[in-house]
Chains A and B, each alone.
Chain A
Amino acid sequence: MSQWEYAPAPESAEIANLKQRYRPFIGGEFVDGSGEPIRTVNPATGEVLAEVGTASESDVDNAVRSARRAYERTWRKLPGAERAKYVFRIARLIQERARELAVLETLDNGKPISQSRDADVPGAAAHFFYHAGWADKLEYAGLGPDPRPLGVAGQVIPWNFPLLMLAWKVAPALATGNTVVLKPAETTPLSALVFAEICLQAELPDGVVNIVPGGDDVGAAVVAHPDVGKVAFTGSTEVGKRIQRSLAGTGKRLTLELGGKAANVVFDDAPLDQAVEGIVNGIFYNQGHVCCAGSRLLVQESIAEELLDRLRARIETLRLGDPLDKNTDIGAINSAEQLARINELVAAGEAEGARRWSSPCPLPERGFFFPPTVFSEVEQSMRIAREEIFGPVLSVLTFRTPTEAVAKANNTRYGLSAGIWTEKGSRILWLAQRMRAGVVWANTFNRFDPAAPFGGYRESGFGREGGRIGLEAYLHV
């Protein structure tokens, strides 16, 4: 009688209103792109969801031209309060279509519906609401008396939070008076194209937002276009470096939000049950496809064993499977390529002598899945301690003193985020000052708010998104 299994609680895929074909959005209309069409796949089943037309270099040129035209003729001339109306309208439309967007995002990305429903979509709406509020108050943002927009923003976003990353990029750009050419990730273009429908619904002037799906070449064309005044990129460090190289000397403004290998530092006086939750949330949220994921757990040696026992017991309760099931905690890995990369790094971890433990949870027969995995006995010199895995794989290291914790936490080429778990307030402040990371969370992890700036140090990139300071990236000040 005590074997209590939750019955399946699937959300209906119908709600996504999937269409067979999606097309690029340029100059206020959906057009046939002249690039090679791509097929976007449901990573939980391997089935093709839809065919998506892609942009070629000439389409990108058209998109930038129409963005430029919209910028010159209408958008930059609008008073801030008028721009705000459009941005508010977009925010409300995202809320109205929240359920559709959440299901679509889960189908295309593989993330659990509970996360797309409770975090991605509300988060996206919140970013538009927040930035809409700034549109008529830019002179009072403390960035100078007369901040002016930069022109056309070329934006390239990743596949881990397709709609949310779009919101992080598009909302501040529009609110500050810029127009946009955005390239969504090759494997997750759908929510961006539904967002284009929302722009139409909001009666946004033609050309203010343009969406150009495609692969790396399309992204490169957006970035390289001479009429783009500002480039914003979120994605891998490797591509980020390429972009920075290509933009050197062009005078274009650039922000990069790249990879990470965040340290989650747990002291022996930490609130253990909450630390376990925080570790789980830090690395297994969104299947670990999070640039600021707490992928390196640094535990004080005196509690390492106890903490790991509790952590494994907790991980065994994580439910992996159909992302559309409302009770799923861990969904699908976004693509076969990504799964292969995770497998490669996990094999490296085993070869290097770290001890692997994976949850015994059953894996679905179809689709791309990887069980939540913990490596203990990891040393700083191992690849799994240094390279970003971008999957549900945690590397556990230990430390003896706070100074050693700082040294190990900072011993990385990245610097996006960090976590501190201790009941001692003075230690939180001491450690936070010494962490070379853009965000330091204390007794929590992966908390976001549009008003809180986010961004990195070193190979995690530069520039901040969100908050008052995030506006600066889109303004001449």
Chain B
Amino acid sequence: MATATLPAELAEATRDEQSLRRFLHGLPGVDHVGLEQRAASLATRSIKNTAKLWAIDAAIAMIDLTTLEGADTRGRVRALAAKARQPDPGYPDTPRVAAVCVYPDLVETATRALRGSGIEVASVATAFPSGRSGRDVKLAEVSLAVSCGATEVDMVIDRGAFLEGRYGAVFDEIVAVKAACGNARLKVILETGELGTYDNVRRASWLALLAGGDFVKTSTGKITPAATLPVTHVLLQAVRDFHEATGEQRGVKPAGGIRTTKEAIRYLVAVREVAGEGWLVPALFRFGASSLLNDLLLQRRTRLEGHYSSPDHLALD
């Protein structure tokens, strides 16, 4: 089950189920009181003026504009793609979002609508959101998404296997999905709201990174709590420590429940101060969100025009 590129000690950790368990349980613990305190105190940074405008533009460029409803239609996806290409027609210099994220059967529509824009097409494959299906089915779904043009795949881990302590099974599945992705980037959704403890979140993050995940992602958005600041701190610490150990930079994606500019900026502060400034790029940090974009656009207009404008000045999609 080993992957090729890891340094010797880490490759050793992935040799078999037992070494994996020993490694994951040997990671430093997380004291939840201290973690939450730190996240709360960092959230009080005061961001204004040029720094705020920079943050708004950065956040827009980091959005995976997402629609994941049973009621999704091709029309809805096309509308989202148009919004992704030009978030604010009143201000053509507004950055584009990073990606549009849809279910696998809509990837084709999204790919067509976004052709030539440079915007990535992401898809939630692997029996999203529960992950409850056979591996063949999950891999088939990944192949479907990739063959239809998805450049990014958001997979969910098997939380059941993780909570049972079958780390090897989770690891192998991520490795298999990564292989099925081909050139597409893999974001591994840990569904932190179901993992119960921050220690588990740290272990799951390392598991995903060791198995070759390009991003660790907090949530599907279908479970409460979804992304939180403390959980995102743990993910950022994991990619920072992984970089320390391997020299490789992997990304972090909080998803679900981030709706306002103020919240988004708190995440950016965490990125800057926990992982480091190097992570403040769309290649390494993403927001999984839909309604966040319009609040960012409103705040952007507010900064540029010096007054608030009506949400009706922006497209609803």
Contact = CB atoms under 8 A, between A and B. Distances in A.
A326 B48 CA distance: 11
Interface stretch (A16-24, A53-61, A151-159, A271-279): A271-279
A2 B272 CA distance: 9
A443 B277 contact: no
Interface in A91-133: 114, 118
B163 interface: no
A2 B55 CA distance: 10
Contacts of B49: 7
Nearest first, the 3 A-B pairs at minimum CB distance are A274-B34, A9-B46, A271-B31
Given A2-B281, A4-B55, A274 B50 contact: no
A3 interface: yes
Interface in B25-70: 28-31, 33-35, 37-38, 44-52, 54-55, 58
B189 to A, nearest CB: 23
Given A4-B277, A7-B52, A270-B28, A443 B272 contact: no
A273 B280 contact: no
Nearest to A443: B31
Nearest to A421: B31
A272 B34 CA distance: 11
Given A6-B47, A317-B273, A1 B281 contact: yes
Contact of A326 (B28, B35, B46, B52): B46
A271 B281 contact: no
User: Chain B, interface size: which category?
Assistant: 20 to 34
Contacts of B34: 271, 273-274, 277-278, 443-444
A71 B135 CA distance: 82
Nearest to A118: B44
26 contacts: A1-B58, A1-B281, A2-B277, A2-B278, A2-B281, A4-B51, A4-B58, A4-B280, A6-B46, A6-B47, A7-B48, A7-B49, A7-B52, A269-B29, A270-B28, A271-B29, A271-B30, A272-B28, A274-B31, A274-B38, A317-B273, A327-B45, A423-B29, A423-B31, A444-B31, A444-B33
A5 interface: yes
Interface of A is mostly: loop
Interface in B273-293: 273, 277-278, 280-281
Given A2-B281, A4-B58, A7-B50, A273 B45 contact: no
Interface of B: 28-31, 33-35, 37-38, 44-52, 54-55, 58, 237, 268, 272-273, 277-278, 280-281
A277 B38 CA distance: 8
Interface string A1-44: 11111110100000000000000000000000000000000000
Interface in A248-291: 269-274, 277-278
A313 to B, nearest CB: 9
A1 B58 CA distance: 9
A271 B45 contact: no
Contacts of B268: 4
Q: Chain A interface residue count: which class?
A: 20 to 34
B277 A273 contact: no
Nearest to B269: A6
A7 B237 contact: no
B281 A274 contact: no
B20 to A, nearest CB: 20
Given A7-B51, A327-B46, 6 more contacts: A4-B51, A6-B46, A269-B28, A271-B28, A271-B29, A443-B34
Contacts of A3: 277
Contacts of A326: 44-46
A443 B30 CA distance: 10
A118 B55 CA distance: 25
B35 A273 contact: yes
A1 B51 CA distance: 11
B203 to A, nearest CB: 14
B33 A2 contact: no
B181 to A, nearest CB: 27
A9 B278 CA distance: 24
A267 B52 CA distance: 40
B59 to A, nearest CB: 11
Contacts of A327: 45-46
A274 B30 CA distance: 7
A248 to B, nearest CB: 44
Interface hub of B33, B34, B55, B268 (most chain A Cβ within 10 A): B34
A104 B29 CA distance: 41
